[in-house]
Amino acid sequence: MRTLTKSVSNKLLAAGALALSLALPAQAAINVLTCEPEWAALTTELAGDKASVSSATNALQDPHRVEARPGLIARTRNADLLVCTGLDLEAGWLPLLVQQSGNAKIAKGQPGYFEAGSFVPRLDVPAKLDRAEGDVHAFGNPHVHLNPHNIALISAQLAKRLAAIDPANAAYYAARQADFAGRWSQAMRKWETQAAPLRGLTLVEHHRNMEYLMSWLGMRQVGTLEPKPGVEPSAAQLGQLLAQLQQQPAKLVLRAAYQDERASNWLSQRAHIPAVVVPFTVGADKESGDLFALFDTTVQRLTQAVK
């Protein structure tokens, strides 16, 4: 009987708290602006409705070349937390946004600035910096998110950062991170099993933005459509690449959904290899609505192409 009253009173308390929380203005969700859609998806996984999350770029935009548009400056002004890849990927526009927004919380070095790329081991750190080599990233290849192990590393750090920004909900973020990490490691095992046939696969990519995906699945790049990073492919250079593929054949030509299809189709027809498009990030197509779907689709497209 006593336990019954206790449980009833507990329920009443809970109901009261719920009513109270509904009546009072909802605890203002923290405002998170991410530079790329994958970080918006990850933040939503960890923060649920405790954060209002938006991405500065969409999945079909080249994250290297974005304009510091007025609407973006306004959104940067109101952000409590900025989640970006960093590693100079956004060097052409992010510093301007942060400076013009006059938002001190999200300046580099502040807790409000989260640089995802700094938490994972980088590939392609250049030994020498020279613009004659094209658009070189001094801190290494910034496209870190296509290895799901990196997502796992970043997710742990991001949950900590969310808790630091919004200590009231620290336990909530930690619980969601634990839940996400569990589902994520299961999914990774599934993808790794599915992608086993891709080990040792050789491919041509458009820009050097698939390095982390290749290193994860044991694939190897034998050429890029861009002659140098950030330089658009020309007919002559594509011809050279085609000749080079006679010596070193590739099984497919790979590009991200945001990249121009023409060069990759050209090579696909002449080298008689399939042109494969991967979503590259969350939201690029309707099969890639969240982080899990992104990798499901990526692994599926690759394995289908080599069947």
Partner 1 sequence: MFKHSVMTVAIAAAFALPLSAGAAESPELAAIRAQIQEMKQSYEARLQALEQRLQDAQAAVAEAQNAAASAQQANAPAAPAAPAPAAPTTAAAGDNSFNPSISLVLGGTFSNLSQDPSTYRFGGFMPPVGEVGPGSRSFNLGESELTMAANIDPMFAGQLTFALTGENEASVEEAFVRTRELGGGTNVKAGRFLSGVGYLNAQHSHTWDFVDAPLAYQAFFGGQYKPDGVQVRWLAPFNTFLEVGAEVGSGRSFPGNDRNKNGFNATSVFAHAGDDIGDSASWRAGLSYLRTGAADRAYEFDGIPNAFSGKSSIWMADAVYKWAPNGNPTRTNFKLQGEYMRRKESGTLAAGELADAYASTQSGWYLQGVYQFMPNWRAGLRFDRLSSGTPFIGLVDSGALGMDAFPALVRYKPQRSSVMLDWSPSEFSRLRLQFARDEARPGQTDNQVYLQYIMSLGAHAGHTF
Binding residues for partner 1 (CB under 8 A)? 57-58, 60-62, 65-75, 77-78, 86-88, 91-96, 99-105, 107-111, 113, 115, 117-122, 125, 131, 134-135, 138-140, 149-150, 152-153, 156-157, 160-161, 164, 185, 189, 230-232, 258, 260
Considering the complex, state which of residue 263 and residue 299 has its C-beta at the smaller distance from partner 1: 263
Calpha distance 41→17 (Å, rounded)? 30
Residue 93 CA to chain centroid, in angstroms? 18
**Rounded to 10 degrees, what is the CA torsion of 88, 89, 92, 94?**
-90
Residue count of the chain, please give it. Answer: 307
Q: How far is the CB of 64 from partner 1 (least distance, A)?
A: 9
Considering the complex, state which of residue 29 and residue 152 has its C-beta at the smaller distance from partner 1: 152
CA distances from 133 to 44, 92, 245 (A): 37, 18, 22
* Contact (Cβ atoms closer than 8 angstroms) between residue 68 and residue 93: yes
Among residues 47, 54, 88, 92, which one has the least CA distance to residue 74? 54
Q: How far is the CB of 66 from partner 1 (least distance, A)?
A: 7
Considering the complex, state which of residue 115 and residue 245 has its C-beta at the smaller distance from partner 1: 115
Among residues 19, 46, 226, 249, which one has the least CA distance to residue 134? 226
Q: How far is the CB of 191 from partner 1 (least distance, A)?
A: 14
Q: How far is the CB of 69 from partner 1 (least distance, A)?
A: 4
Q: Which two tokens stand for residue 121?
A: 């081991």
Considering the complex, state which of residue 151 and residue 201 has its C-beta at the smaller distance from partner 1: 151
Q: How far is the CB of 106 from partner 1 (least distance, A)?
A: 10
Considering the complex, state which of residue 123 and residue 306 has its C-beta at the smaller distance from partner 1: 123
Considering the complex, state which of residue 118 and residue 244 has its C-beta at the smaller distance from partner 1: 118
Q: How far is the CB of 19 from partner 1 (least distance, A)?
A: 31
CA dihedral over 37, 42, 44, 47, signed as positive or negative: negative
